[in-house]
Chains A and B, each alone.
Chain A
């Protein structure tokens, strides 16, 4: 089955700096790559996603890039704010298996 690796496990940045979180996946058939933000005690919330027919997608301060050949994708947050502090999870799924597998998560701390 799909195996998703995520790095780093923790990330601390100063407010206004950029943050980058990287994930790799193992199943070349995977074609959907969402990113979730989870605040303490709450449900994961989808913040951005990308499909394998697209290399990059941007939504305001958040962008995701996908390198299908290398089987890795990244989340980029620019101009970070303290409210960006949370755990971020990447995930991957393929159209043939009805499941989605998550990375281990990155705890992002944005210091004011």
Chain B
């Protein structure tokens, strides 16, 4: 069964540093998403991406965040200057049809120290 792949599985970074989280969505999917889950809390929507542009973003997705699809396979989330409160599990997801039938990646655990 096709999978959404995320790397790295765990990233530790110093506060103020930039991080890039990487995702390879399922190849025939057209919609891409990033979600965040702080330990023990709900899964929070960050951003959706379709047709090479952001289609929706939440109030969490401020100027510190950006997404890119630099080539035909990768979908990245960049956090420019990490804060302690950015520590969370970040999940990438993709789907063929918008906002349904999501397939989640295994997540990247980001720890900001």
Residues of A within 8 A of B (CB): 1, 32, 34, 36, 38, 42-46, 49, 89, 91, 93-95, 97-105
Contacts and interface: CB of A to CB of B under 8 A. Distances in A.
B45 A102 contact: yes
B107 A103 contact: no
B56 A98 contact: yes
Contacts of A105: 41-43
Given A44-B104, A93-B100, A101 B31 contact: no
Contact of A100 (B55, B99, B105): B99
B93 to A, nearest CB: 9
Contact of A101 (B41, B45, B101, B104): B45
A41 to B, nearest CB: 9
Contact of B43 (A44, A95, A98): A44
B106 interface: yes
Interface in B57-113: 58, 91, 98-102, 104-107
